[in-house]
């Protein structure tokens, strides 16, 4: 099993290209099930989750072609996928495929919308909380789908097609908002989604569906209105840059020091996180190429942060922020409000010398003068990269085990950091 080895102490200087957003690319790929014509997606990241979803879509009959290399394209730039669901040959998404990744559950909505039936395994994936699918099923039932659970599968049917309706979510859910959008675009009549997620990835999906002929208003606000159409057509769409990858590398620079241009990043996708980094002592500048982040060696300041749905501080950057606060001059407080089990990285950071006390959904981090390298183990995708960030400044050698989590969400992370001066390498086997 691969590991990552880091020798701490080197600042980061140079340029890091920002990949397409995984959390946008996956629902966009699923949207290909809604039309018999070809959907072309540009700037798709090369990630394990993307590869897994390609296998799931292929099982339904989607033909997927990867466009050949173009001038200036490298393994650090996005790929172009052409997805054609001319004929859906299977409306069952089996356990052995869906269990590897939660996002694959999204195939449920377009299969019902286009085919009138679907049988999809309950999902597996991250170990950061229960993350139930009840809001997804509620949305589909409000659009007229009959749903039952049978032997670990969601069996849904709408033989006469879905009908527009009102969906009012009791809490904000990005995944359930994706499901509602993917179902409503082909439903008969008007659908109104209340308390919808406002995340940029939701807006990106709505933009792509609109290019395919959907009629959507209000994406990016808490109320989205969809007027169903009989059919969608093909389109070409470019995936937005990954705001979580952007924030992760920005925090890495804040931790290690140096000066890095995050090429292709968009500040408007993570304003709240950038404000926190400024408060911690980093210099953050928006440029016409992306975002420039620098820290000149002065100490980090403590911060108080609560994770919130967009436009608040994202839960997917909580672990990375915690890593940098381990070296801040004072006590920081991080409150996690999204996922109940998202402090699993605390024990591993403590192995490097971090001083962290947990109290319910609050973590109190007292900055220490130094971290010391040690073997650590990744527990989930974001936790694993927090250990890499800590390792960038830890004295001696840090080895991060179980990095298959990293490969699900970060494209060639060790290569991007090494290109900016980090002493980091992947150890195979």
From the annotation, which residues make up the binding site for phosphoenolpyruvate?
Answer: 22-23
Q: Read out DSSP for 124-157? A: ----SS---SHHHHHHHHHTT-EEEEETTEEEEE
3-state secondary structure of 199: coil
* Start-end of H helices in 262-419: 271-280, 318-325, 346-351, 381-391, 404-409, 413-418
The residue ranges of DSSP E strands in 49-111, in sequence order, are: 63-66, 79-84, 92-93
**Cα 415 off chain centre by:** 20
> Checking phi first, is residue 382 left (phi over 0); if not, alpha (psi -120 to 50) or beta?
alpha
Cα–Cα distance list, 87 to 41, 145, 357 (Å): 19, 22, 54
Whether the CA torsion 352, 373, 247, 102 is positive or negative: it is negative
Q: What number of CA atoms fall less than 13 Å from residue 406's CA on the CB side?
A: 24
Please say if 126 is a catalytic residue: yes
Whether the CA torsion 286, 292, 298, 300 is positive or negative: it is positive
Q: Single out the catalytic residue among 24, 25, 101, 126.
A: 126
- Sort 15 into a burial class: Cβ within 10 Å, 0-12 / 13-18 / 19+: middle
**Pairing of β 215-217 and β 223-227:** antiparallel
Calpha distance 369→377 (Å, rounded): 23
Calpha distance 40→84 (Å, rounded): 9
Calpha distance 278→123 (Å, rounded): 38
Residues noted as catalytic: 126
């Amino acid at each position: 099993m691969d590991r990552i080895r880091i020798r701490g102490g080197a600042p980061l200087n140079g340029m890091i290209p920002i990949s397409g957003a995984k959390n946008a690319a996956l629902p966009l790929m699923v949207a290909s099930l809604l039309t018999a014509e070809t959907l072309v997606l540009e700037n798709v990241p090369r990630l394990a989750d993307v590869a897994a979803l390609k296998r799931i879509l292929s099982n339904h009959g989607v033909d997927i072609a990867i466009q050949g290399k173009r001038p200036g394209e490298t393994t650090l730039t996005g790929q172009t996928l052409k997805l054609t669901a001319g004929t859906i040959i299977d409306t069952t998404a089996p356990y052995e495929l869906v269990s590897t990744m939660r996002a694959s559950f999204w195939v449920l909505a377009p299969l019902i919308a286009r085919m009138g039936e679907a049988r999809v395994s309950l999902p597996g994936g991250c170990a950061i909380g229960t993350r139930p699918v009840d809001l997804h099923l509620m949305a589909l039932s409000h659009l007229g789908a009959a749903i039952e659970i049978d032997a670990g599968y969601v069996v849904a049917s709408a033989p006469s097609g879905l009908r527009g309706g009102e969906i009012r979510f009791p809490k904000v859910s990005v995944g359930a908002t994706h499901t509602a959008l993917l179902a409503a675009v082909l439903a008969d009549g008007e659908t109104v989604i209340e308390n919808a997620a406002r995340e940029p990835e939701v807006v990106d999906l709505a933009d792509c569906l609109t290019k395919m002929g959907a009629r959507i208003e209000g994406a990016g606000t808490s109320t989205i209105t969809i007027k169903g159409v009989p059919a969608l057509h093909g389109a070409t769409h470019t995936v937005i840059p990954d705001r979580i990858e952007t924030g992760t590398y920005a925090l890495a620079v804040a931790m290690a020091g140096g000066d890095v241009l995050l090429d292709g990043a968009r500040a408007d996708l993570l304003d709240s996180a950038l404000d926190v980094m400024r408060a911690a002592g980093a210099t953050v500048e928006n440029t016409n190429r992306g975002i420039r982040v620098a820290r000149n060696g002065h100490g980090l300041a403590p911060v108080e942060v609560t994770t919130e749905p967009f436009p608040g501080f994202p839960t997917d950057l909580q672990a990375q922020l915690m890593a940098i606060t381990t070296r801040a001059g004072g006590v920081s407080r991080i409150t996690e409000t999204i996922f109940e089990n998202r402090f699993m990285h605390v024990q591993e950071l403590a192995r490097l010398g971090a001083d962290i006390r947990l109290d319910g959904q609050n973590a109190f981090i007292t900055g220490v003068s130094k971290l010391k390298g040690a073997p650590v183990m990744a527990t989930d995708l974001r936790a694993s990269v927090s250990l890499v960030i800590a390792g960038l400044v830890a004295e001696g050698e840090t080895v991060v085990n179980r990095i298959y989590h990293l490969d699900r969400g970060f494209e060639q992370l060790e290569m991007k950091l090494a290109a900016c001066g980090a002493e980091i390498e992947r150890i195979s086997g």
